[in-house]
Chain A
Amino acid sequence: MFEFLFNYRSELFSQGELTFLAGPVRLLMLSVGLALTAWALHRYRKSLTGSDKASGPVQGLLLALRALGVGALVVALLEPALALSAIKPQESFVAVLADTSASMTVTDTEDLDQPAATRAAWLDRSLVGAPFDNEPGDLWRDLATRFQVRAYAFDETAGRIDFAEPLSFDGRRSDLGSALTMVRSELTGVPLAGVVVLTDGAIESTDVLIDESLRFRSAGIPIFPVAVGSARFDRDLEIAEIRVPRRTLLGSTVLAQVQIGYPGFAGETITVEIRDEGRVIQQRTAELPVGGDDTMSLELSFRTQAEGTRSLEFAVTPQSRAAEAVTLNNTKTVLLEVESGPHKILYFEGEPRFEYKFIRRAVAEDPQLQLVSLLRMADNRFYRQSVDGEDELRGGFPTRREELFKYRGLVLGSIEASFFTYEQMRMIVDFAAERGGGVLFLGGSNALAEGGYAGTPLSELIPTELSDRREVGPRGVSVNVQPTALGREHAALQLQGTSDDAFWASLPELLVLNRTGRLKPGAAALLAGQTAGTQEAQLVLAHQRFGAGSSMLFLPTDSFRWQMRLPTEDQTHEILWRQILRWLINGVDDRVVASPQRDRVELGGDAVLEATVRDQRFQADPNALVEAEVTSPSGATSRFDLTWDPLTEGRYSGELSVNEPGLHAVTVFADTGEGSQATAATAKANFTFEAGSLNEEFFGAVRQAGVMTRLASETGGQTFAGNDISALIDQLSYSTAGVTVREERPLWNMPILLCLILLGLLGEWSARRWKGLR
């Protein structure tokens, strides 16, 4: 519409400046004319004033309309024009960058001329034309009428192309940043009017790209992305995201959250499978809901059965088997490090009670857990179990950070707060907040509010508010335990492969002694229940994140009744405690935490390895000597140093070029330089990354506008659709970059002026007729 009324697109008006072409003679004549017009309008107003048919507002309207018509006519006679700097034909250059990554083979050209064609076909037609006719494509030809065209193809590499050569679309990623670097270096010194990027937008947003966009902006060279492909597939299933923990313990139940996008599949049934080395370890069938945004989240839990790095393949399959836009995005692989223990948890119990023994028995057979226990049998009489050597916990509860922080988890039983010194309480808080450990509080007559925890540093760590009341009733309340909505889906509470109400209702009641207040913000209840008599809601199990770690609260004092009262072969009690304690230490890091920046690396790319190193007190160590040893799939070993990151204390990183497909095992050694040779000052961490073809081009393969829009706005360019090439060429023709000449485009013939003249004069005439004036 704008272009119809004003002859030119709005962008040209913002680029150019308004000028008038009328000469002095015409200006003189116009001045005389304006004076006569003013006199005529004055007379006209007087004649209206004398008439009793025209009230004040009508007079104003009539005058305004006549003035509008006359004014528009005057403007047209002044011969307005738009002064632009236009590209001088054939003296400026245009760089055309064509995305030849694999995602261009997707068939979704809904907004292009040819329906059901691939993005690549459109690109071929635009640039290289028909095979064997040795003629460029439409876009190339049109650009060549005004510019010197330099065309490049880019994916993970970039190179110059000629229209005589067919393009191959097999790139594994789209590294536009590096391509722009090449264009900039090749075309240095030539008048470059702009850069046209033909892409579907699946571009890597790298630091290089950001850097290049700033360089092009400072050089005044606009970038014009041309969007290829559809913004939304008609029909496609995609595994958009998978969330699984990076590490877990052997034998643990892992909960995987799978985000599935399904445009065009609503109402159909799908199956999601998890495969480990080709063997299906879990599957779930679901119906895709109708309505909403065509995405859904599915949860699958599975038990880890083999240690080491597991490459888990998630696959979604529609039952209809009907065609879809992209099938390569129906499977996705994630890495899971399955660790074997045992990992040490310290259990400190303040009073001899059967709960202590039964918790220990429940996890005694778990090879991944070592529940080191300290039981206060009497005042100053402690009993140690599962310790490593005579010295462990010899002095009772730890008083030094390095003594406590070697455990991954801490269980505090029925022990009054006054047992601890203030420093010990702060240390326990730091154990969760800084060391990242898990702290579990158990209910008991000396625990929580009844144990005097309100107002102490430890109360920060407890997931509920505590009251100041300390008395303990002799009986407590009996509770029927049920999972909350969150607990029903939680991996730690999948006790017998079922979470139905009947199973939970069959469990014996448990006794809760302690009174707790509200859950703290951020804490979540996982088990709750109703008191047997009064049917009041009673919290049973709660969890919260706390700094780098977490804390949990388990209120019943006698979970052992699940062991004693359920059938002898029943494993509910054992599974409950194994899973709670595994969950407590899940994801708890050691002194050295090392990981690849990305779990999966494209073959031929660089793997970035990162490590965070802490000393024995778990404080960031900026002075460590950190070395990585990488073992490739063929068994070749290489070692290199990781360098200190000046921005983050205790962080180290290094890069490794990856040329061999498969799993690469990495061990990071950190010498923190503390202690003598006799002490273990060197800590290490292991991880794995996988090199190979990732097919990442096919995830999120719909046209992505984000990077393209930012690139255009950063450099003064504009984004165009694939069927709007003429506008692109028009815009390029008035680029301020390149070799330009001043060009004045007439505006006197703009339809808007004719409209205003007609509106003014005809409107005034009609109004007069309407009021019965002459």
Chain B
Amino acid sequence: MAPKPSSFRARATVGLAAAVAAALLWLGSSIATAAAADGDRSGAPQVEFPVYDYDHRFTFARIKFSPIEWGFSRRYTWGLDLKWNHDYPQAEQNFAKVLDEITGIKANPEGGNLIELDDPRLFDYPWAYLCEPGFWDPTETELVALRNYLLRGGFLVIDDFFDQVGGFNEQWDNFERQIRRLFPGSTLSPLRLDQAAFRVFFELDDLDFSDPRLPFNVPAMYGIFEDNDPTKRLMIAVNYNMDIGDYWEWSDQGLYPVNMTEKGFRLGLNYLLYSMTH
């Protein structure tokens, strides 16, 4: 049976629109990539976001950076995929709600702050979160600030980056390159279940944080320790092939199974309480 003309027209229109959109996205990402390759970050759009003044409460600090590439997306805040803004601000807000519900931590329920690494305000928030490090290419100034932040007692969670199964490990490679710039000679130590970060509040049963959408990506957790010594303080917790921020973001929408969502919160709470005790 031949297709109905109207149906055909509709399909043709969708196809055209998709082609145009794809062309635009390619163009946009090419421009962004070219700009980043030239060392010019001005291509990344500056967007408005709320700022919460420093007070005595725990405030989620999300690291804002100029990504190597960015794109348009209806899914992300401001309609832009800026990489660092994945899950913002719902993840922060839901995380604060769970903190308030389960622990004695007094948290800012409205959300978190977006802070660039070279912003001195970063040092008021000894716990920080950075996502999509596959697109992260900090300046030297930012690296120095982050190094000081960590050595003085700060804690950084790096989350939400994946590589294609069987493909090149572009995301990991970029992340590892930046870590080598941050702490030359450092070791990314695989984290073990018996370490304090996984026992401090919830005693986790396992470290299997497989993403149900990407079942073939094997999650792995690494850490950068003070003096490169796994018996000392954990400064950076790395969630590779994992996205606990996504669990937090969608926890009130039922996107992920309950047990995975719960595990995401358990891990996040443990990271935070570890940073408040070690």
Contact = CB atoms under 8 A, between A and B. Distances in A.
B5 to A, nearest CB: 64
10 contacts: A351-B104, A354-B276, A357-B153, A357-B276, A358-B153, A377-B201, A445-B56, A476-B56, A557-B56, A558-B124
Contacts of B106: 351, 353, 445
A568 B123 CA distance: 11
Given A561-B123, A564-B126, A352 B152 contact: no
A382 to B, nearest CB: 11
Contacts of A377: 103-104, 201, 273
A381 B151 CA distance: 29
Contacts of B273: 352, 377, 383
Given A357-B153, A568-B151, A352 B55 contact: no
B149 interface: yes
B200 interface: yes
Interface string A352-383: 11101110110000000000000111110101
Nearest to B103: A378
B55 A353 contact: no
A652 interface: no
Nearest to B105: A352
Interface string A461-475: 000000000000011
B153 A352 contact: no
Contacts of A445: 56, 106
Given A351-B105, A358-B153, A474-B57, A564 B276 contact: no
A563 B104 contact: no
A446 to B, nearest CB: 9
B104 A511 contact: no
B104 A379 contact: yes
Contacts of A513: 56
A564 B104 contact: no
A564 B152 contact: yes
Contact of A511 (B55, B123, B126): B55
A560 B153 contact: yes
B55 A474 contact: yes
Contacts of B56: 353, 444-445, 474, 476, 511, 513, 557-558
Shortest beta-carbon contacts, A-B, top 4:
A564-B123, A351-B104, A352-B276, A378-B103
A378 B124 contact: no
A724 B201 CA distance: 89
B151 A375 contact: no
A568 B148 contact: yes
A357 B152 CA distance: 12
A558 B102 CA distance: 23
B93 interface: no
Contacts of A564: 123-124, 126, 149, 152-154
Contacts of A769: none
B126 A475 contact: no
B124 A357 contact: no
Contact of B104 (A350, A474, A557): A350
B46 interface: no
Contacts of B123: 561, 564-565
Contacts of A560: 126, 153
A358 B53 CA distance: 22
Contacts of B102: 378
A385 interface: yes
Interface residues of B, number: 30
Interface residues of A, number: 34
B182 to A, nearest CB: 14
Contact of B278 (A357, A376, A558, A565): A357
A445 B57 CA distance: 9
A558 B58 CA distance: 12
B53 to A, nearest CB: 7
Given A358-B153, A377-B201, A377-B273, A476 B104 contact: no
Contacts of B127: 354
Interface in B226-278: 272-273, 275-278
Most chain A beta-carbon neighbours within 10 Å: one of B54, B120, B148, B152: B152
B147 to A, nearest CB: 8
A377 B54 CA distance: 22
Nearest to A475: B55
B241 to A, nearest CB: 29
Contacts of A356: 276-277
Interface string A484-526: 0000000000000000000000000001010000000000000
A354 B104 CA distance: 13
A171 B254 CA distance: 96
Nearest to A353: B276
B153 A383 contact: no
Interface of A: 350-354, 356-358, 360-361, 375-379, 381, 383, 385, 444-445, 474-476, 511, 513, 557-558, 560-561, 563-565, 567-568
Contacts of B126: 354, 357-358, 560, 564
B156 to A, nearest CB: 13
A353 B53 CA distance: 17
Nearest to A513: B56
Contact of A563 (B58, B153, B201): B153
A572 to B, nearest CB: 12
A429 to B, nearest CB: 25
Most chain A beta-carbon neighbours within 10 Å: one of B54, B127, B153, B154: B153
B105 A353 contact: yes
B155 to A, nearest CB: 9
A357 B277 contact: yes
Contacts of B153: 357-358, 361, 560, 563-564
Contacts of B55: 474-476, 511
A659 to B, nearest CB: 55
B53 A475 contact: yes
A351 B103 CA distance: 8
A564 B149 CA distance: 7
Given A361-B153, A513-B56, 4 more contacts: A351-B104, A376-B104, A474-B56, A568-B152
Nearest to A350: B104
A513 to B, nearest CB: 6
A229 B222 CA distance: 84
A563 B124 CA distance: 10
Contact of A383 (B54, B148, B200): B200
Interface string B117-129: 0001001101100
Contacts of B149: 564
B24 to A, nearest CB: 44
Nearest to A376: B104
A557 B151 CA distance: 21
B64 to A, nearest CB: 19
A357 B104 contact: no
Nearest to A565: B123
A563 to B, nearest CB: 6
Nearest to A373: B277
Nearest to B151: A568
B104 A378 contact: yes
A480 to B, nearest CB: 15
A379 B102 CA distance: 8
Nearest to A566: B152
A511 B55 CA distance: 8
A350 B103 CA distance: 11
Interface in B54-70: 54-58
A765 B123 CA distance: 106
A352 B277 contact: yes
A356 B106 CA distance: 14
Given A352-B276, A476-B56, A513-B56, A381 B152 contact: no
A168 to B, nearest CB: 69
Contacts of B154: 564
B169 to A, nearest CB: 32
A569 to B, nearest CB: 9
A558 B123 CA distance: 12
Interface in B11-56: 53-56
Interface string B90-103: 00000000000011
A3 to B, nearest CB: 84
